[in-house]
Structures are given as C-alpha cells and as structure tokens.
Amino acid sequence: MKLYYSATSPFVRKVMVAAIELGLRERIELLPAKAHVIDRDRTIIEKNPLGQVPTFITDDGTVLYDSRVIVEYLDVLGNGKLIPRNGAARWSVLTEHSLADGVLNAALLTRYEGALRPEELRWREWTAAQLDKVACGLDALETRAARFDERVDLATIAFGCALGYLDFRFATLGWRDMHPNAAAWFARFGERGSMVATRPPSA
C-alpha cells in the first residue's frame, strides 16, 4: 500500500494515527508530495484529480481519497474497532468525526487566507467566520471530552489531530483557557505513541 502524504497535513496525520493504532503502518509506503492549493502537484493529480493529500493506493492498485474513506478502508482491513459497525455508537462516532473535520477545515481555510492570499485581498469578516466555526466546534468538543475517558476511535483520533493542528498553526489561539475538559483529555491522548510518532516536524 502507498500513501501520498505531507508531514504537516492534519488529514494525513489522521490516516497515519489510524494506521499505527491498527498495526498497519509498516505495510504502507510513504510517497512525499507537494500538495498545494495554488501550485498543484501533478504527480498526485495523476492518481487523484483533486490533487490533495492524503491519497492512498491499495495493494491491488485501487486509489482512495479522502481521509474519511482511507481510514474506513484501513479499519476494515485491520479488523479494527475505530468505527463501530452498526447501531447508535456508529452514528455517534461518525458525527463526532464530522465535527472534528469541520474544525480542521475551518482552521485550514483560515491558514490559507493568512499565508497564501495577498494581504490587500484578505477578507477579515470571512476569516472571523471561519474562526467562529473553530470556536463553536471547540465548545461542542468541551462537552464531549469529559466523557471520552480512554476511547480510541475515529472521532477521538480526529479530535486529537484537530487540536494538534491548532497547536501547530494557531499557537496564539489559547484554546485550552476556555476548554479545560478538552485540554485535560488532549494532554493524555496526545501522548499516545501514535500521536507522538505523527507530530508535525516543528511541533
């Protein structure tokens, strides 16, 4: 199996954490890629027309994207329990996963606006709206985090990667100040071997 990746992508990190938790990491060859929202990597586009990471190639050559599909594939392949197979638990984990991904998407869009768009073209109200999504998502996480205990599933992995990305790209946000339950949970979860092994290079 092969994975087009970037070490700083939180969505790639989610896939990597899942692979480690499922015992599949050693079966995956990493293919460095230069995914960029403007200067698109044609090497990735040959496999994934969106030109995004993560892009995954199975042993039989099937190409999978995005991170949601890849993680579900790995969970089935590894006979894992990251995604409950049925019942209320399944819908709860998938909904929490969507919440975490929504926080990540809003954070990424904010990052692109500040890092890539010329300053004179930046839209402050739009950026504020994206950061409000992050704030509302963190408020929702705060109510859930107190009940996470030792859960390791797709939702908690996604939340861990979202909070890690905020630390990596938005260190001045100070999200811990208003979210003590999430902070206490992340202090534990962030020290799992899978999370430590996938930290961004400068984090």
- Domain containing 176 equals 87-192
Instruction: Choose the final residue of a domain: 35, 58, 77.
Output: 77
- The answer to the question of residue 198 being in a domain is no
Q: Name the pLDDT band for 117 (thresholds 50, 70, 90).
A: confident
- The answer to the question of residue 108 being in a domain is yes
Q: What is the pLDDT of residue 203?
A: 53
Question: What pLDDT, in 10s, does the model give residues 23-60?
Answer: 999 999 999 888 777 778 889 999 999 999 999 999 99
The dihedral built from the CA positions of residue 183, 186, 191 and 197, taken in this order, carries a sign that is: negative
Higher pLDDT, 36 or 138: 138
Instruction: Choose the final residue of a domain: 31, 57, 77.
Output: 77
| Domain shared by 55 and 15, yes or no | yes
Which CATH number belongs to the domain containing residue 13 in this structure? Answer: 3.40.30.10
For residues 158-175, average pLDDT: 96
| Domain shared by 97 and 138, yes or no | yes
Number of structural domains (the chain) is: 2
